[in-house]
Structure 1
Amino acid sequence: MSRIRHPEVDVPRQHRPGGVVERPSLRSAAAALTSLLALAATGLVAGPAVAASRDASPCALPRTGAHHSLGLDTWNDAYPRPDHSLDAVMVFLSFPDSEPAVTPDVLAADYFPSTTRFFKRASYGKFTLRAHPQQQWTRMPHPSTWYGIQRDWGSEQRTAYLRDAIEAVDDQVDFSTYDIVYLVADPDAPGVDSDATKVVNFDRPLRADGADIKRVVTVFEEHPPDRNVLAHETGHVFDLADLYHRPKDGKGDWDTYVGDWDVMGSQFGLSPDLFGWHKWKLGWLDRGQVVCVQGSADLTLEPMAEVPVPGGSIGTRLAVIRTGTDSALAVEARSATGNDRGTCTEGVLIYRIHNRTPSGGGPIEVLDTHPDSDACWERSVYPPLADAPLREGERYSVPGERTRIEVADRTRSGAWTVRITTGT
């Protein structure tokens, strides 16, 4: 029997305060706008104080030993990299103490093809998640209440659940043909707790059909499930971290680090497309789409969630400023398109990355460029960050860093004209 690792314990960190958004006077705003538009027309500014390199390696933080480290100079081979098509088996588990009220095909439709479409859009067509749902229920040997299913699950009962599930379905599934395993429990069984959905990693892989099973996604969702929940859990399969803040007492705001701005923060987010940093890590951004800023630069940022038309080309998606050995700032544009079509606000988003901070500890922190306001109270998971992006004519000085970001305007195609100044 394989030993199963306890999940990481979430360690709350104080949310960093926002900086100051400077709203220039009408005259100075017009002058800044004219200057930036002129610069945007000619590309990057020439001169010794200006440095924006298409070689992004100086800004690529190194991978560390932190759980789901956001370092991206190398790939952790313990995880499948979604830069090609991957196959996922979806197994449906029933229990002796409950007769399922819905069929496997109904539950499968809760997650697919929506999850496949999410990743297709997020990766700009570079990754396809191919789902293979089983057509029947597989009966577990014990009642659902026997396993003690809950969010902070005891190791012994969780181990028994996973062992029983793999053994029960082994005659029906050839695990050697799949890259990802989803174990979906009967949502109406009395012992099933929807808060227990998570990815479980094994200290030592399970062996089945001559293949190593290094992790499984255990799904205990209600029917219908939380929006984008499987996209969130599948992100962990690709070595992406939890970006939410878990309060010590379980009460209070969970979304103080990133708000709506990435599905790894909240599956309910209004802007769930993955951060550009994540897309860089996963191999979805081309070399020419990431710029490392080491001085000052004028850039045109394409919306992160915009999917290029067939045969079309996309320019810069992500600008990165290295701020230390283990930290960086990222700047990207977010617009109401693609996975972000339900966003609350559009603009230029700025966030910090910490490669030594583990999953759940705040490895990414969105900077609130409008700390005195909020937005979309009726829809946002964390309204104080719903209006975090910079808008046209605004500039922002990053707290604790010698970095300023200015937004001039939007181009006719919907891209954002941005000036980044560092070191002054």
Structure 2
Amino acid sequence: MDPSARPRRLLPAALVLALAALLALLVVPAQPARAYNASSSACALQGTTAYTDEGQQTDHTRFQNPIGTKQIGLIYVDFPDAPGTTLPLTSYYDTLKGATDWMRNASYGQTTLDIRAPYANRVHMPKNSTDYTWERGFSWSTHQVYVEDALTAAANAGVDLTRYDMFYVVPTATATAIGHSPTFIQDPASPTWVWNPRTGTWVTIHWAVTFGQDIWTWGYKVADHETGHTFGLPDLYAFNGNQYVGGWDLMGRISGPPTPSGPTSGDRVAPERHTSGAAGTTSHRPHRHGAAPHGSCRGRRRGSLALKPALVDRAASGCRPVRLGDGLYERRTQ
């Protein structure tokens, strides 16, 4: 196949997405909302964004199924204005490798992250780090360019992209312009293709976590948080603070809930377990950090929500809010 001839897009250009970052860290394209939740229950949580949201079925044309082993290619990158000089890259890998144990434990063995670094050196990005406009709220298309550049460089260095379900892209520590760690989510209407010389084919890139310098603050838990977005899990915090679920769910405060000896590792509350495939295994297990039993969940979707006053008013129809740490979760009284 001629690498200069990209595959034709399957859908008309009119369906090109509105480019916006979702909740600043999760970068997904915007499309018209879909009515996923058909429940007539007064306690059912209704989705509003049709992507990473509460109260809807996960759209697996966009997000990956969390069950099973996920093959993750770990790609190290540097830039003309931020060259990497230190080898080996052990400190980068060691910072992220704990994500495997956390995910396996949080999912009760349902999800395994098999993180491998197929190229033992950095690959070189074609632009300066400052040219990627790396700021919160940047567009999906800007993020797409970064992902394409990183994985094109990896493929040209000999990495076989077809072997991986998703990718972790890690910048050199000198690239201070790459600050935060957003997640790249595919848009089936605008596929992201990278030429793979190993197979002589175009490869569609579905998901990637593009780490920033905050990995040195959050450690491996930022990998678990961001990978959760590829399963369809939403952020459970507000950008003016951590007042929603706080640290009781990893999709809230990444550092975990506070304890007398300091923050501990956050877990997943019941609806998040439902989405991430571990809900069916929790009925006979202790519910760590106060998470409500799955059987009590009528919302059936993700997250220990900060309930709006309108939701609290549903008590008259048989629902009551139950406090989990510094967040709220809706359950039915029977």
TM-score (norm 2): 0.69
Distance 1:73 1:155, change over 3 A: closer
User: SS of 1:205's equivalent?
Assistant: coil
The 5 Å alignment of 1:88-103 reads 88-100=72-84, 102-103=86-87
The 5 Å alignment of 1:1-16 reads 5-8=19-22
User: SS of 1:170's equivalent?
Assistant: helix
User: Does the CA-based 8 Å contact 2:248-2:269 persist in structure 1?
Assistant: yes
Counterpart of 1:105 in structure 2: which amino acid? Answer: T
Identity of aligned residues (%): 26
User: SS of 1:365's equivalent?
Assistant: coil
Tell me, yes or no, if structure 1 residue 119 matches structure 2 residue 106: no
The 5 Å alignment of 1:207-286 reads 207-208=193-194, 209=196, 210-222=202-214, 224-227=216-219, 228-246=221-239, 253-270=240-257, 272-286=266-280
The 5 Å alignment of 1:125-136 reads 125-133=109-117, 134-136=119-121
User: Does the CA-based 8 Å contact 2:63-2:185 persist in structure 1?
Assistant: no
Distance 1:162 1:152 in 2: 16
Distance 1:421 1:237, change over 3 A: closer
Distance 1:188 1:154, change over 3 A: same
Distance 1:222 1:321 in 2: 34
- Alignment counterpart, residue 315 of structure 2, candidates 398, 401, 417: 401
Distance 1:282 1:136, change over 3 A: same
User: Does the CA-based 8 Å contact 1:262-1:269 persist in structure 2?
Assistant: yes
- Alignment counterpart, residue 304 of structure 1, candidates 284, 287, 300: 287
Structure with more contact order per residue of length (Cα contacts < 8 Å, sep ≥ 6): 1
User: SS of 2:104's equivalent?
Assistant: helix
- Alignment counterpart, residue 305 of structure 2, candidates 344, 359, 365: 365
Aligned residues: 272
User: SS of 1:278's equivalent?
Assistant: helix
Counterpart of 2:271 in structure 1: which amino acid? Answer: W
Aligned to 2:93: 108
CA deviation string 1:357-409 (max 9, x = no partner): xxxxxx742579xxxxxxxxxxxxxxxxxxxxxxxxxxxxx65414588x9xx
Structure 1, gaps ≥5 residues long: 11-57, 247-252, 290-300, 307-315, 323-327, 331-352, 356-362, 369-397, 408-418
TM-score (norm 1): 0.55
The 5 Å alignment of 1:279-358 reads 279-286=273-280, 289=283, 302-305=285-288, 317-320=293-296, 322=298, 328=299
Structure 2, gaps ≥5 residues long: 1-5, 10-15, 25-40, 197-201, 258-264, 323-330
- Alignment counterpart, residue 152 of structure 2, candidates 140, 162, 167: 167
Which structure: larger Rg?
Answer: 1
Alpha-carbon RMSD across the aligned residues, in angstroms, is 3.7
Distance 1:260 1:199, change over 3 A: same
Counterpart of 2:305 in structure 1: which amino acid? Answer: E
User: SS of 1:181's equivalent?
Assistant: strand
Distance 2:44 2:67 in 1: 18
Give the C-alpha shift of residue 137 in structure 1. Answer: 0.5
User: SS of 1:120's equivalent?
Assistant: helix
Give the C-alpha shift of residue 61 in structure 1. Answer: 6.2
Which structure has more strand as a fraction of its residues? 1
Counterpart of 1:283 in structure 2: which amino acid? Answer: G
User: Does the CA-based 8 Å contact 1:62-1:74 persist in structure 2?
Assistant: no
Aligned to 1:189: 175
CA deviation string 1:312-354 (max 9, x = no partner): xxxx9323354xxxxx3x8xxxxxxxxxxxxxxxxxxxxxx6x
Distance 1:257 1:81 in 2: 26
Distance 1:207 1:129, change over 3 A: same
